[in-house]
Amino acid sequence: MAADRRSSWLKGVLDLLVLSCLTDGESYGYEIAKSLAEAGLGEIKGGTLYPVLNRLEEAGLVEAEFRAAERGPGRRYYRLTGPGRTHLAAESEAWTEFHRAVRGKLHAGGSTT
């Protein structure tokens, strides 16, 4: 039950978290998933992550570039675009306000005052 609840919460904010993984520069899917896991968000599988990356790319929030590797398969590297940075800043502020409201309500113990 807790995993299902956590999955639902994550679904609402995963796009924002993926964008945040790209603030310091470009990265590829496995590294993004690893960063999210290290942040305590659990394992994000490729079947969840890559549709998010594709959606962000289609929206013009990230750009992707395929690079061949000397060894092993090539990788698609993602980087934030200018509109992606703007979107991340605005949505981060909105999420912070929402989080503050939820936290306030939870800590109020359900009181209506």
Q: How many residues does the chain have?
A: 113
Q: Looking up tokens 């703007």, which residue turns up?
A: 86
Query: Does 112 have pLDDT greater than 80?
Result: no
Structure tokens at 106: 């939870």
Q: How far is CA 104 from CA 41, 92, 100, 108, in A?
A: 22, 18, 6, 6
What was the pLDDT predicted at 2?
A: 63
Decide if pLDDT at 70 tops 70.
yes
- Torsional class of 60: left (φ above 0), alpha (ψ -120 to 50), beta (otherwise): left
Using 50, 70 and 90 to split pLDDT, how confident is the model at 109?
confident
Model pTM above 0.75 = yes
DSSP 1-20: -HHHHHHHHHHHHHHHHHHH
List, for residues 44-67, the tens digit of each pLDDT value.
999 999 999 999 999 999 999 999
pLDDT at 72: 85
